[in-house]
Structure 1
Amino acid sequence: MTSELSARSRALAVATTEIERHVAARGWDAEIAVFSLVRTSEILATSPQLAHELPEGAGQDPEHLTSIEQDGLPAADALEELLAQLAWPETVDGAAIVVERMVVPPEAEAQMPTDPDEGLQFLLAHPDRQDVRIAVGVLRSGETWCALRSRANDSDDAIGGGPDAVPGLAQALAATLA
């Protein structure tokens, strides 16, 4: 599918998938991870000494993205609260976030209790529950990419992806770039 994408979208797909694999190396039940995305050519223009730390030829591709993990994220009780606190300087071309979620089939979701504690217990006990790691990348120019991995199929060759797999999260992350 990535062969049908524009060069910019393909670069975002590659970067987002690499970010998911990076976070996957930490194992499951990880904290939310946030990354800035910067064009590699811009990094090399201002810091050419970093060339040896980047993949060979990355600086020749004008769309290649370098991800930079953000430490010291603001305290937040919910993902929405964290996203509302994020802002990026103009030198950042995009952002990515990695979260883990529990999902159930739509018919089971309709039966979930509205009380948050009861809802969590419902999800944890549901026999069709799937644990999913979601990596979403967005660019200021509007491109999005989502990389998904389930705990049940936890391997690098089982990562799914697409530009609109998790549109709500992509829109919320894009708002941090405005």
Structure 2
Amino acid sequence: MSQDASTGPAAPTPDRATAALADAVREIERHVAAGGWDGPVRVFALVGTARALEAEPDLAGQLPAQVVAAAAKDPHHLTSVEQEGLPDAPALEDLLGSLTWPPTVDGAAVVVERVVLPPSAEEGMPSDPDEALAYLMGHPERQDVRLAVAVLRDGPAWCAVRSRAHDADAAVAGGPDVVPGLVEAVRATFE
């Protein structure tokens, strides 16, 4: 997770493409956070804004002026497009396994909420799925988190994590490899 320069060593400065991806992930996470907690999985396509504007000039009239201006200044700027009508899937892995992207999509992002426990609490989890769910939901050390994970087709990744216990934009942690398993699952949608 990245650290604020005032609380520890400064995180290395990412390349411009990764910085643009991090900006897009933060924007997506804030957008989803505005809807509150206990939401469904959400999936977003990421497209290079400048390239999209070049291909469809009329798009400039549909985007906010600040987005068009940002794309003019930064060729790496990304626009997110929420994917609606996702197929029903019993698990996140199944949903991600069913996704494919056309060549015009430069990246993808997924936002999902999870319950996490400290490793010490997992030792007492029952093996029965119904009992395990009750144990998880009732555990005093449980933490509800929202994970926003995105990858670009050509490799860079960025993650944002918001805790329900510290639900503020300033408390969202981020980094390229915070949720490695989910990064790889999103990356696999481009294979």
In the alignment, structure 1 segments of 5+ residues that lack a partner are none
- Aligned residue number for residue 46 of structure 1: 55
Contact kept in structure 2, 1:35 and 1:70, CA below 8 Å: yes
Deviations 1:36-56 (CA, angstroms, capped at 9, x unpaired): 000001110112222241425
- Distance in 1, Cα, partners of 2:41 & 2:127: 24
- Distance in 2, Cα, partners of 1:146 & 1:19: 11
Given candidates 69, 75, 79, the residue that maps to 1:57 is 69
- Aligned residue number for residue 17 of structure 1: 26
Structure 2 length-normalised TM: 0.89
1:51-130 matched pairs, under 5 angstroms: 51-52=60-61, 53-54=63-64, 55-60=67-72, 61-130=74-143
Cα RMSD between the aligned structures?
A: 1.3
SS at match of 2:190: coil
Instruction: Quote the sequence identity (%).
Output: 57
- Distance in 2, Cα, partners of 1:13 & 1:23: 15
Runs of 4+ in 1 over 6 A off after TM superposition: none
- Distance in 2, Cα, partners of 1:48 & 1:3: 36
Structure 1 length-normalised TM: 0.96
Number of positions where the alignment pairs a residue of Structure 1 with one of Structure 2: 178
Q: Which shows bigger deviation, 44-53 or 88-97?
A: 44-53
- Aligned residue number for residue 43 of structure 2: 34
Q: Does 1:6 align with 2:15?
A: yes
- Distance in 1, Cα, partners of 2:111 & 2:155: 19
SS at match of 1:164: coil
In the alignment, structure 2 segments of 5+ residues that lack a partner are 3-10
Structure exhibiting the larger radius of gyration computed from Cα positions: 2
Contact kept in structure 2, 1:100 and 1:134, CA below 8 Å: yes
Q: Displacement of 1:3 after TM fit?
A: 6.5
- Distance in 2, Cα, partners of 1:113 & 1:160: 31
Deviations 1:94-122 (CA, angstroms, capped at 9, x unpaired): 00000000001011123222322211111
- Distance in 2, Cα, partners of 1:80 & 1:56: 35
Contact kept in structure 2, 1:3 and 1:10, CA below 8 Å: no
